Amino acid sequence: MNFRRTSRDEPEINLIPFIDVLLVVLIFLVLSTTYSKFTELQIKLPIADAEHQRDYPKEVIVAVSSDGRYAVNKSSVQGRGLDALAAALSEAAKAGRNTVIVISADASATHQSVITVMEAARRSGLSQITFATQSATQAVSRQ
Question: pLDDT digits over 89-110, tens only?
Answer: 888 887 677 888 889 888 888 8
How high is the pLDDT of residue 32?
A: 84
Query: What is the domain partition of the chain in residue ranges?
Result: 59-142
Whether the model clears a pTM of 0.75, i.e. scores above it, the answer is no
Question: pLDDT digits over 33-62, tens only?
Answer: 766 554 444 545 555 665 555 555 588 888
Q: Give me the phi and psi of 114, to 5 degrees please.
A: -70, -40
CA distance 17 to 48: 55
How high is the pLDDT of residue 48?
A: 60
106: helix, coil or strand? coil
How high is the pLDDT of residue 41?
A: 43
Question: pLDDT digits over 59-91, tens only?
Answer: 888 888 888 889 888 888 888 788 889 888 888
How high is the pLDDT of residue 19?
A: 93
Domain boundaries 59-142, CATH class: alpha beta
For residue 60, what are the CA distances in angstroms to 1, 53, 55? 109, 15, 12
